[in-house]
Structure 1
Amino acid sequence: MTTETAPRIALPGGEMLAWSDLPEQRLVEGGPLGALLARVVPAGARVLLAGPHDPALLDRLAHAEVTCLLRSHPDGVALADRGARVVVGGPTGLPVGGRWDVVVAAAGPDAVESVEGPRLGWDGVLARLADAVAPGGTLLLQVGNPLGVHRLVATTPWYADRADSAWSVGGVLDTGRPANPEQARARLTAAGLRAGACFAAYPDPSAPSVLVAADELDRRPTSGLFDAVLHGACAGGFTGTTVLQDPARLAVDALYAGLGSALAPGWLLLAHRPDPQRSTLADADALPVVLVQSGSAGVGVVEVVDGPDGWRWQATGGSARPAPAPFATREAARRDADALDGPVPEGRLLRTLLLDACLRRDLDTLRHLLRGYADWLADRADADGRLAGSAALAGTDNVVVADGGARPATADAAPAFAVLDPSWRASTPLDLDVALARSLWRFAAALLTGGYAHPWTSTLDVAGLTVVLGGLAGRDLSRATVAEAVEAEAAITAALRGLDADGRVRLADELRGVTPTDPPAGPRSYQQLREAWVRQREEMTRLAALLKWTEDLLTSRERALRRADATINLLSGSLSYRVGRLAITPARLAKRGARAAKRRATAALSQRRPPEEQQ
């Protein structure tokens, strides 16, 4: 396509004609970045999107005047078809003296520079972008972390990247790029801007599905909300990829170590150009604490805002929710955006507390937490013992415990539990034991397949461990109840993932076949795959020992039978055996004749009786 067919494209020089930078991973409506821009960009503002961005961001910025700065000509043609003004040629192609109210470089300065034009370097591109910010305007800049979670779990080291896009590989050795937010803020200050809010981006800095305020992430390392958000983002963001270790586990461990923002894959910084005549366009105090991409239709991005009464849920950017399906085809679970309008409960995640107690072999704490959890679910059941709404799906990964589950002064008092995200709801009520067994089965599967140490025998399968956990919770769960819970888990997971009928059948088969020797679902971690191999080797060793014991037992029994047979054969050839056999034979024949005579007599008597007596 030529520029005549796309007149909104400006080619000042330096364009790359056979290159594409548009991200492969696309998020619904631009994801958390789109929701953040909707807050930062006021109506009628002039916006410069510098570098490749998700085309869905143009839809979120329909209320503003958008200019796209790209280095790829094919990408420029694609965005021009969406009605945006496009400049293709790198940062030197910007018009001299051009100013914008908001400049967005969410892919970083490196993605703005073209190899067909003069090379400015990281600081040179930043200076050009900072110069394009109007007085009182805002710059939104993405900075990659050379020691982020995504690099720590990568199978290929950062210094060995030979992809086409890796013209220069940046790392901690490259002092031309900032390696942490403090260095980035110093560069922004040197460029004449005032640094503001900073968000940690997970799990991919170029397409984050979660943005968390870095200050809050460091201030609350034991927050159940941050625990669930980071675990979910990294577990879903690396699904199907091969990694060195579990990124979700690493992210949560970093959170509890106070390194949640330090090990983030990237950071998103906001900076302002001071203007004494007007206020800045973005107020850091008004920005959300957390922005999470939701995969459910009708919910969009879920935000957590800080209000006078603490953190509160807020769902924004969702499209119109589809009408509920008829009863015959209704899904087992759904996401209700209207429920995301209330306070975020504080406390630690129940799953983390249970894992910690298992690792410490603390049965008292496990019994205390599980019994309190089971009683808390029972209090929310109806008169028929069934759970509905969010309580039916309140698993260990969506329940927080106040005060970290510490034992109260009163022995009979139970810890305070609360549903973290109340928008996950069951369409039909679940039996209390089935709902509890489903939650415990999920935890047992994660515990065994994840290779966590625990205080129980290694010969327990997932269903058996679920029954044991139910006993600690004070409930008598049978394997039949656990099997019913697995079927409910398959139906609920299929509904939340939007699977078709074939996908549901495959998912149900996978869940029924989960064994302790399987690796956990999600990323293919070398570490966890090795642990699964170790468990399989131990199981094979146990089975080989059992097989050898069985073979030894059969061999000893066979030898005993041979000795008995030899003894019988020896005795059968002796004189006493023959004399005894001659003496017993007439008695045996007489007994057989007496039985035959008795049968003939009984038959004769029955024939002489009248028909009425025979009946």
Structure 2
Amino acid sequence: MTVQMIGGEMLLWSDMDDPVRGAALAPLVAAATGRVLVAGPHHPDLFGTDVTHDFLVRGVPDATALAGRFGSATVWCGGPEKLTGRYDTVLALDGVGRLSSVEGIDADVGHLAAVLAPGGRLMLGAANPLGVHRLAAAPGDEPADARWCEPDPVPAPALGQSAVLAAFPHPTTPAVVLSAGLLADPRYRGFAEAAVARAGMPGMQVARAGTPGMQVARAGTPGDGRPGDGAAPAAVLDPVRLAVDAVRQGVAVALAPGWISGAPECCVVDGRMLTPGADGTWPVPEGRTLLDHVVAAARRRDMPRVRTLLTRWRGGPAAGVPAGQVLIMPDDDLVALSEPGGEGAALMALAADLMRGGHATAWPAPDGETGLARTLAAMTGVDLPDGALPPPPPLAARADLVAQGQRLSRRVAALEAKLAWFENALTDRDAALARAYQVNRVLAGKPVARAGAAAVEAVRLLRRALRRR
């Protein structure tokens, strides 16, 4: 298929260095029906080889590459204002920021809505300038090539007032998409926390056996949780912990890295699309995470409750599963949402979460993550041998480095105070011993002392003579 130049194209520009992609977007793309227009840079792997959609891009190199890959597709190159056709579904999961050229007019949602057929659907993505990925990220040295200007705020009518999906952990590479309705329901908050945590930890295997009716991916389907193919940039805050806290506090939609509007009411978790039932319930387990329960008990200094939770965890079918991936159902059953990775690794992860989250104050002076993990194991009656615990997980943010430095400073201050106390005690004991020696010398020179010494010597000689007989 040849490329159709419609005006406003950019001859040498390409947006495919950072197209919108991610495992969570494939089910949404597959749900598009009728005549479909794909507007903006979308990764080709989101579509099948025999796709017949229309594509709209602004860069000639991108249009040529799409035409060469999808022979049955129609590729338009230029600005959206030049389109004249009508489409049943318009996919603009990258938003409208990369649709027009520097010499054309600024594209907006109205240009995409103008090509919709009556009753058509516009799936629109938008990046959140105040999302957790921006709050946690360190400022870069230089902006990316595609960011030659700051994006305009997305108007509320563009996103719609319902069926807004929150995308994590990055707007261009979402690994999980959660419905605003599910995030607002406290019954499913634990499931949402676990899903967001898995999205920020690529490679974690999901559970093979879940709750009946729950559709989850099989083992070995890691999510694409980080932007780009290289190493993730240094973060000021731990983005996973920040995102999980946002879900726990009920502000996940407001602080989501990206939004998708116009899609059907659904969630995409572990590569599978979940839809609510007729009664509004979701086919996912209810309850809070084990990590949430342990943190709440630690804040109350309720050590018996912590011991009970840890004992049930390590002695049940969820042993070895990270505490943040274990749900405690309303009937008090434990449900594992990921595959076990070893009891030592799970204990170390829990200790790191407690230590770095500031919840380890319930334990007296824990010796780092390793010491706290051994204490947690001892609370269940298990004395871990040497080598049973892996190294602590690496620090994910600069704030963790600062917090670790503060913890080490407090520990050094405590050791210095203990050393000063021992030195004072040793000095006092040396002084008391010197006084005792002096008193002994003084008393040894008295006549009574000399007579007593002679009597003792006489008794010693008498006993020796009696033994000889």
Q: Which amino acid aligns with 2:9?
A: E
- Once the two structures are superposed, residues 291-316 of structure 1 have per-residue CA deviations (whole angstroms, 9 ceiling, x without a partner) of 134xxxxxxx133343479867xxxx
Share of identical aligned residues, percent? 35
Deviation string for 1:356-378 (max 9, x for gaps)? 22223222432342344345x1x
The residue correspondences of 1:379-394 to structure 2 (distance < 5 A) are: 380=317, 391-394=318-321
Per-residue deviation, 1:47: 2.2
Q: Which string of whole-angstrom CA distances, capped at 9 and with x for unpartnered residues, describes residues 70-114 of structure 1? A: 1122222222221253222221343xx312232111110111111
**Cα distance in structure 1, aligned partners of 2:387 and 2:278:** 44
* 1:473-512 → structure 2 map (5 Å cutoff): 475-480=380-385, 483=386, 485-486=388-389, 511=391
> Per-residue deviation at 1:171?
5.3
The aligned counterpart of 2:248 is 256
The 1:311–1:221 alpha-carbon spacing in structure 2 relative to 1, beyond 3 Å, is closer
- Partner Cα distance (2:395, 2:117) in 1: 45
User: Which of 1 and 2 has greater Rg?
Assistant: 1
- SS state at 2:256 partner: coil
Contact 1:221 1:256 (C-alpha < 8 Å) held by counterparts: no
The 2-side partners of 1:360 and 1:256 are apart by 18
1:185 match: 160
Tell me the distance in 1 between the aligned counterparts of 2:132 and 2:104: 33
After TM superposition, list the pairs within 5 Å mapping 1:156-555 onto structure 2: 156=139, 163-170=144-151, 177-178=154-155, 180=156, 182=157, 184-185=159-160, 197-220=163-186, 223-234=189-200, 237=225, 240-270=232-262, 284=264, 289-293=266-270, 301-307=271-277, 344-375=284-315, 377=316, 380=317, 391-403=318-330, 416-421=332-337, 424=339, 435=343, 438-472=345-379, 475-480=380-385, 483=386, 485-486=388-389, 511=391, 514=392, 521=394, 523-526=396-399, 528-546=400-418
Maintained 8 Å contact 2:49/2:69: no
Q: Distance in 1 between matches of 2:17 and 2:280?
A: 36
| Distance in structure 1 (CA, Å) of the matches to 2:19 and 2:395 | 17
Q: Letter of the aligned partner of 1:395 in structure 2?
A: P
Task: Considering Cα pairs closer than 8 Å and 6+ residues apart, tell me whether 1 or 2 has the greater RCO.
Answer: 2
* Pick aligned residue for 2:62 from 67, 75, 85: 75
> 1:31: how far off?
1.4
* Alignment check: 8 A CA contact 1:46 1:64 kept: no
CA offset digits 1:189-217 (Å, max 9, x no partner): xxxxxxx6321111211221111111221
Aligned twin of 2:128: 145
Can you give the 5+ residue segments of structure 2 that lack an aligned partner in the other structure?
A: 203-224, 439-469
Give the distance between the partners of 1:302 and 1:484, measured in 2 at CA: 38
Shift in alpha-carbon separation, 1:484–1:453, aligned structure 2, 3 A? closer
Contact 2:9 2:78 in 1 (8 A): yes
1:535 is displaced (CA, Å) by 0.8
- The two structures have a TM-score, normalised by structure 1, of 0.59
CA contact (8 A) 1:451 1:532 kept: no
- 104, 119, 122: which one aligns with 1:118: 104
SS in structure 2 opposite 1:109? coil
Q: 1:252 to 1:359 in 2, by over 3 A?
A: same
In 1: Cα distance, 2:58 partner to 2:292 partner: 46
DSSP 3-state at the match of 1:539: helix
- CA separation of 1:101 and 1:62: change in aligned 2, threshold 3 A: farther
- Kindly provide the amino acid, as one letter, of the partner of residue 327 in structure 2: V
Alpha-carbon distance in structure 2 between the residues aligned to 1:78 and 1:217:
39
How far apart in 2 are the matches of 1:522 and 1:230? 19
Q: Please list, as runs of the form range in 1=range in 2, the aligned pairs for 1:127-146 lying within 5 A after superposition.
A: 127-146=110-129
Amino acid at match of 1:215: G
Contact preservation (8 Å) 1:148, 1:262: yes
After superposition, the Cα gap between the structure-2 partners of 1:222 and 1:531, relative to the gap in structure 1 and judged at 3 Å, is farther
In 1: Cα distance, 2:395 partner to 2:200 partner:
10
Amino acid in structure 2 at the alignment position of 1:535: R
Aligned match for 1:33, one of 5, 25, 33: 25
Is residue 59–residue 77 contact of structure 2 (8 Å, CA) maintained in 1? Answer: yes
Checking the alignment, whether the CA contact within 8 Å between 1:221 and 1:257 is kept in structure 2 is no
Q: Distance in 1 between matches of 2:421 and 2:398?
A: 36
1:12 partner SS: strand
Report the Cα distance in structure 2 between the residues aligned to 1:213 and 1:309, rounded to whole angstroms: 16
SS of the aligned residue for 2:28 comes to helix
| Structure 1 residues 306-346: Cα deviation after superposition (integer angstroms, max 9, x where no partner) | 3479867xxxxxxxxxxxxxxxxxxxxxxxxxxxxxx6321
Which structure 1 segments of 5+ residues have no match?
A: 1-6, 187-195, 272-283, 294-300, 313-342, 381-390, 404-414, 487-507, 515-519, 567-615
CA contact (8 A) 2:167 2:259 kept: yes
CA distance in 2, matches of 1:10, 1:551: 85
Q: Higher helix share goes to which structure?
A: 1
8 A contact 2:50–2:70 mirrored in 1: no
CA RMSD of aligned residues (A): 4.1
Q: Indicate how the Cα distance of structure 1 residues 371 and 149 shifts in structure 2: closer, same or farther if over 3 A, else same.
A: same
Given the alignment, which residue of 54, 70, 94 partners 2:43? 54
8 Å Cα contact 1:198/1:213 also seen in 2? yes
| Residue 242 of structure 1, CA deviation | 2.8
Alpha-carbon distance in structure 1 between the residues aligned to 2:356 and 2:311: 24
**Aligned equivalents of 1:535 and 1:152: distance in 2?**
24
* SS of residue matched to 2:69: coil
CA spacing shift, 1:457–1:136, aligned 2, 3 Å: same
1:552 shift after superposition: 6.5
Amino acid paired to 1:140: M
Shift in Å, 1:35: 1.3
Measured in 2, the distance between the counterparts of 1:46 and 1:86 equals 14
TM-score by length of 2: 0.76
